[in-house]
Structure 1
Amino acid sequence: MRIAIASDHAAIELKAALADWLRDMGHDVTDLGPDTAASVDYPDYGYKLAAALADGTAERGIALCGSGIGISIAVNRHPKARCALVAEPLSAALAREHNDANAIAMGARLIGVEMAKACVTAFLATEFGGDRHQRRVDKLTTPAL
């Protein structure tokens, strides 16, 4: 699977660990940065991840920052991105099954590497449920305001 991964400075170590692990599993991983632990702005990297999902560079995305909150908000600014903040595998699986999420966000200050791997595993292994969920997902892209 083609997976894009991005973080801010607070999650650089988690990003590197997940990227290496995903490559070892045979996935095509695009690391959107940053490359160092120098302070950066998480919206810049969230927007890069959303663009990679929107243009088809990536099928799935992983967004990381200190809490996961800020970068998830940034990714979700794009109408073709559906990024769910997760901290355990059930939420990651439900994000795919019910919401057709194409990205997950996690907080490096709140989750360990092994739990992050468990979340990613559940996210990648779960298919969208369709049916009754499809009309709801359609409303996420075209809201009735």
Structure 2
Amino acid sequence: MRPMTLAKTSAAVLATAVVGSLASRPAKSAWYAKLRKPSFQPPPQVFPIVWPLLYADIAVVSAGAVDELTERGRHEEARTYSALLALNLILNAGWSWLFFDRGKLGASAVAAAALTASSADLTRRAVSVSGAPAGALGLYPLWCAFATLLSTRIWQLNR
């Protein structure tokens, strides 16, 4: 993997993390505290551990996939992967804004489902190019699927 590609994917992921964390500040608000939450919601300490690990995984696996595609002369597929990664990261940060900043519980559940589908597609694409090592990205759609379940249940409990 080329350092420049890793720098680009890392910068994109870091920007997503910053934008998402700015929107997540209301997680410490009275509004959030009053929301009814399901029994399976993880403790708050889990999120700042899981997300940096997932973000690092996204940056590394995506850089590897883009570079492999480029090295094989599959430039259009590399551009497509990069565009789909950008869309995924927009969905990722957008969820935080919908849920925490806007309090749009139903819309955030739908956005989480779209993020899950997008994450699964990125994983499929990365594995098809890079093989089993890219399978580590599979943790991302699994976490997003859990987030979809959690978001949907919070929406149901707070209608």
* Normalised TM-score (structure 2): 0.27
Name whichever structure is richer in helix by fraction.
Answer: 2
More RCO (CA 8 Å, sep 6+): 2
* Normalised TM-score (structure 1): 0.29
